[in-house]
Chain A
Amino acid sequence: MRPDFWIVQTFNGLSYGALLFLLASGLSLIFGVMRIVNMAHGSYFMLGGYLGLTVILRTRSFAMSVVAATVAIALIGMAMERYFLQRLRGQDLGQVLMTIGFALIFQDLALLLWGGDPYSLPVPAALSGSARLGGIVFPIYRVFIVGVAVAVGLGLWLLLDRTRAGAMIRAAVDDGEMAQGVGINVPRLSLAVFGLGSALAALGGVIGAGFLGVYPGADFEVLPYAFVVVIVGGLGSLPGAMVGSLLVGLLDNFGKALFPELAYFTLFAPMALILAIRPTGLFGRA
């Protein structure tokens, strides 16, 4: 294989991994604090994309569409948590099932509101086109995605490591009962984390829509990938989400490029294997 093949594929894998990071970091945080497997996470991703599309078509502002989508989905996520999921505190299975019910409702709502046509999110001219570096073409938008993911990653790390809120989150992830015992308002914290997680998924959805487009079915298509990242990296771990999303992005990309017949196998089988050896993921704890 030519050397630029490897460079291009690695870059593709990195940029796809960057997108997955946005999606999976939220899922990981939600699980870490609340032990909820949010099956509606893919729905937030998809709805974020659709909302972003509507806003950008009205306002022609990419920034506005990003802000609007993340805020709106954060609110929806928090409402779902506060009025529905909180009633099932402690019932792990019930919460999973409830999020599934919501995922179905969101899927149909999206169909009702936006129809079934696939759309491409129009990105600002500054972010379209490509850059040439040593004869290799890098689409600028993908570089942008990597940039966003890095910024978000940094932001999350600062939040978790340097702020009081972050400390509370980490405490709740470590041991929810103890955290409650030392006075941390875990329900309120859960609400905030759920909002943050949903917002991250929606951010991924809008940004992702710039090169993947937005279409019905995106919710359940992207959900398994988010799960793989979070399982591989470890539930509740930010470094885990980072490493996991990179790994998954690269594995998926190279798997499709080198072993097209076994494309999904190359992704999910390693995941099953990692789980077999370390059931809590690479960075997770029991």
Chain B
Amino acid sequence: MIGRRAALAAAVVGGLAVLGPLLPAYPLTLITQALIFGILAMSLDVLLGYTGLPSLGQAAYFGVAAYAVALLATERQVGLVGCAAAGIGLAAVTAAVFGVVAIRARGTYFLMITLALGMVMWGLAFRWVSLTKGDNGIAGVPRPEMGALSLNAPLPFFYFTLVAAALSWALLGLLVISPFGLGLKGIRGSESRMAALGYNVWLHKYLAFVIAGVFAGLAGVLWAYYNGFVGPTDVQLVTSVEALLMTALGGPGTLIGPVLGAGVIVFLKNFVSVYTKRWLLILGAVYIGVILFAPHGIVGALRRARR
């Protein structure tokens, strides 16, 4: 089964890679955007889908990494490797610190703690003006140069993102089928049972939290380069909410579902808004519809239908 899923994923990645040069620039940039949010949604899936911890604060690590990249690239002219390392590293450290506070809670309380922690980061981004330039944001983040190859044009950057997304999926995929990942699933089912079996529940949850933060940070690094701009809206509650919705829509606990969910939402937002001003209403209705009729998300529903 794993082999089949991997083959399917490889086919999708290959398909996208072939499709890339054939697409005009705008749809290509939308797919790139969907892949970036796909990574963010996958990071949330580790927590939500596999460990049973609903987080409304992934934007904190996403944003911290994005800001690190923006600041280093514009003020210190740091290159890709340095910025990415700093961004992901900072996201990991933030998750490590926040995790100590957050892992104490479960269920709804966990949701609210992560919300609060996300708001703390947003508050810092918004008000620590001397560092983050406040609401102005940081513009002019140059696309990285990898030796002779510049990621300036949509196509090279798309490939770069595709590789990052595929790698993330592969790494997280290995994680969730590893003994550690199975332990997470067990915790999702019943913490007390796992504790009784001798698992270090706290450590499992904490590591899951940090790993989720790391991949959210990776998404943030890509986002900063994608837009060339980072602002407090990247760290706000709405971003965390959107990640949650992408994961729920795609199917929690499936890893590929959240990527699909990200794609659906990015395209929904950008295509529907061309035809009607009421796109937000439609989006809300779509969420409610999915929750009512496909509570395990699209991929979840597909997998159930196949049984």
- Judged by CB atoms under 8 Å, the answer to whether A and B touch is yes
| Alpha-carbon distance between A101 and B113 when the two chains are bound, in angstroms | 21
Q: Show 12 residue pairs from A and B whose CB-CB distance is below 8 angstroms, ordered by the A residue.
A: A84-B288, A101-B285, A104-B281, A108-B284, A111-B280, A231-B113, A261-B127, A261-B129, A265-B127, A268-B116, A268-B117, A275-B113
Contact segment of B100-108, B142-150, B166-174, B223-231: B100-108
User: How does the 8 Å CB contact mask read for A99-125 relative to B, with 1 for contact and 0 for none?
Assistant: 011111101110110000000000000
Residue of A227, A235, A260, A264 near B122 (CB, 8 A) is A264
Within 211-265 of A, Cβ neighbours of B (below 8 Å) are at 220, 223-224, 227-228, 230-231, 235, 260-265
With A97-B291, A268-B116, A275-B105 known to touch, is A103 a contact of B284 (CB < 8 Å)? Answer: yes
A268:B54 contact, CB within 8 angstroms: no
With A105-B284, A268-B119 known to touch, is A279 a contact of B244 (CB < 8 Å)? Answer: no
Within 278-307 of B, Cβ neighbours of A (below 8 Å) are at 278, 280-281, 283-288, 291-292, 295
Within 89-123 of B, Cβ neighbours of A (below 8 Å) are at 100-101, 104-105, 107-109, 111-113, 115-117, 119-120, 122-123
A262:B127 contact, CB within 8 angstroms: yes
A93:B54 contact, CB within 8 angstroms: yes
A271 at the interface (CB under 8 A from B): yes
Residue of A with least CB distance to B248: A97
- Add 8 more A-B contacts to A92-B107, A280-B109 (CB < 8 A): A94-B295, A101-B285, A104-B283, A104-B284, A108-B280, A227-B112, A261-B127, A268-B117
With A93-B248, A94-B295, A275-B105 known to touch, is A231 a contact of B117 (CB < 8 Å)? Answer: no
B108 neighbours in A (Cβ, 8 Å): 31, 35, 37, 92, 96, 235
B271 at the interface (CB under 8 A from A): no
Residue of B105, B109, B126, B245 near A97 (CB, 8 A) is B245
With A91-B295, A96-B54 known to touch, is A265 a contact of B245 (CB < 8 Å)? Answer: no
A224:B127 contact, CB within 8 angstroms: no
Residue of A with least CB distance to B48: A93
A133 at the interface (CB under 8 A from B): no
A272 at the interface (CB under 8 A from B): yes
B295:A262 contact, CB within 8 angstroms: no
Residue of B with least CB distance to A223: B237
With A87-B292, A265-B127, A279-B104 known to touch, is A231 a contact of B116 (CB < 8 Å)? Answer: yes
A268 neighbours in B (Cβ, 8 Å): 116-117, 119-120, 123
| Alpha-carbon distance between A260 and B130 when the two chains are bound, in angstroms | 12
Q: For the complex, count residues of A whose C-beta is within 8 A of B.
A: 49
A19 at the interface (CB under 8 A from B): no
Residue of B with least CB distance to A261: B127
B264 at the interface (CB under 8 A from A): no
User: How does the 8 Å CB contact mask read for A262-286 relative to B, with 1 for contact and 0 for none?
Assistant: 1111011101110110011000000
Residue of A91, A227, A276 near B115 (CB, 8 A) is A227
A91 neighbours in B (Cβ, 8 Å): 295
